[in-house]
Amino acid sequence: ADWAAAEALVRAVPPTGRVLLICHVNPDGDALGSMLGFGLGLRQLGVRHLQATFPGPPEVPEPFRGLPGLDLLVPASAADPEPALVICFDAAGESRLGELVGRLSSAGAALVLDHHASNSGFGTVNLVDPAAAATSVVAEQLLSRLGVAPDRAIAECFYVALTTDTGSFRFEATTPAVHQLAARLLATGISPGDISRRVFDTRPFGAVRLFGEVLGRARLEPAEADGRGLVWTFATLDDLARHDQRPYVLEALIDSVRCTAEADVSCVLKQTTPGEWAVSMRSKGAVDVSRVAVALGGGGHRFAAGFTGRGSVEQVVGAIRGELDAALIRPGG
Ligand code: 5GP
Ligand code: MN
Ligand code: MN
């Protein structure tokens, strides 16, 4: 990763220059947390013309409405002057930037901060560290090089990002360095109990009932000789409407499905429009789900990946099934 070049890009922004911060569609805690935390850091550095935005509906998911730095979020408009610098957070590829993709090429320069191994390197400078547990780890390192130590507000943003992407320090990427970063963030006085309750442990009663219904229709396809059982379920727009719920509540669903002992791979299909599904996949290790996702036009990590599925539920699940063999991680291979 080219830290010196990234640092130089940020330092080259003139006092009157605009900096536009963007992150992936359907933003999660890492996308929003790394973007807003970095934005607050830039503000500390004296960058005055700062705007953060993300593609798709501008509504911030309820779990993230308490994040510091939300005042940086302004929906993009065609009338916005061209920024001197665009910084892109947690997006593995340009397809994750929806209608904002054109902003990368029209800006003076584009800096990409990410941690997806499948990142295509679509910026002028790319800080992509597949070993980083979250994009916020990369963002914090760059801020530190720029001379900014996280204050309480920045720390809260980065802590949300770090806990989101490590499953609250449960996943493989939870290294000693992750806990050391968490310790530095906690030392600013942020409240981990309040943050976790808000971000992970709060959902409307309608969502609880919706989960019941969607989990009730989960299917388990038993393991074959190589031990790769598949569990999957789906949620439609009609499910959301009947329970009066917003799409973001479905993000937590995969965590209930992936518990299935008999399955190595788990999938949740979330209908976005008729005939189109946002697919989340998780693996316990026998299958590299990022290979399945990339084969089907998406991306992600070895244990967590996704793509946009088209067609019926059966067609999308069939497409996944068809890629599992090629994505098996063979010992030594
Ligand atoms: P999730 O299932 O939590 O939405 O996403 C899991 C991982 O897969 C994340 O790292 C996310 O960036 C990636 N991912 C999810 N959906 C897509 C997609 O449609 N395209 C790409 N390139 N990556 C995705
Ligand atoms: Mn993300
Ligand atoms: Mn991430």
Phi, psi (degrees; rounded to nearest 5) at 205 = -55, -35
Helical ranges in 45-92 per DSSP H:
none
Where would I find the beta strands (DSSP E) of the chain?
18-23, 49-53, 85-89, 109-114, 125-128, 219-221, 230-235, 265-273, 276-283, 299-300, 304-310
CA dist 294 and 329 (Å) reads 15
- Write out pLDDT tens, residues 169-212: 998 899 999 999 999 999 999 999 999 999 999 999 999 999 99
Q: Ligand 2 centroid to 90 CA: how many Å? A: 5
DSSP secondary structure letter of residue 287: B
CA dist 310 and 120 (Å) reads 23
CA 162 distance to own-chain centroid:
11
- Write out pLDDT tens, residues 156-173: 999 999 999 999 999 889
Pairing relationship of beta strands 304-310 and 299-300 according to DSSP bridges: antiparallel
Q: At what angle do helices 135-145 and 176-186 cross, to 10 degrees?
A: 60
End-to-end CA, the chain: 26
Q: Residues 324, 228: contact at Cβ < 8 Å?
A: yes
DSSP 149-181: ---HHHHHHHHHHHHHHTTTTTSTT--HHHHHH
Say yes or no to pLDDT of 131 above 70: yes
CA dist 217 and 275 (Å) reads 19
* Ligand 1 lined by 93 (C-beta under 6 Å): yes
Q: Which of 11, 3, 4 is nearest to 85 (CA)?
A: 11
Nearest atom of ligand 1 to the alpha carbon of 254? 2
Residues 6+ apart with CB under 8 A from 66: 198
Give the chain's mean pLDDT: 95
Q: What is the pLDDT of residue 214?
A: 98
Sorted by where each starts, the structural domains of the chain and their CATH numbers stand as 3-200 (3.90.1640.10), 205-324 (3.10.310.30)
Q: How much is the pTM?
A: 0.93
Q: What is the pLDDT of residue 228?
A: 72
Residues 6+ apart with CB under 8 A from 147: 45
Q: What is the pLDDT of residue 27?
A: 96
Please compute the mean of the pLDDT values over residues 73-88 and round it to a whole number: 92
Please report which confidence band the pLDDT of residue 154 belongs to, taking 50, 70 and 90 as the band edges. very high
Ligand of minimum distance to the alpha carbon of 114: 3
Q: What is the pLDDT of residue 172?
A: 86
Q: What is the pLDDT of residue 227?
A: 57
For ligand 1, atom 13: residue with the closest CA = 300
Retrieve residue 299's tokens: 């991306």
* Ligand 1 lined by 299 (C-beta under 6 Å): yes
To test the pocket of ligand 1, the residue of 307, 308, 316, 320 to mutate (highest count of ligand atoms within 8 Å of its CB) is 307
* Ligand 1 lined by 308 (C-beta under 6 Å): yes
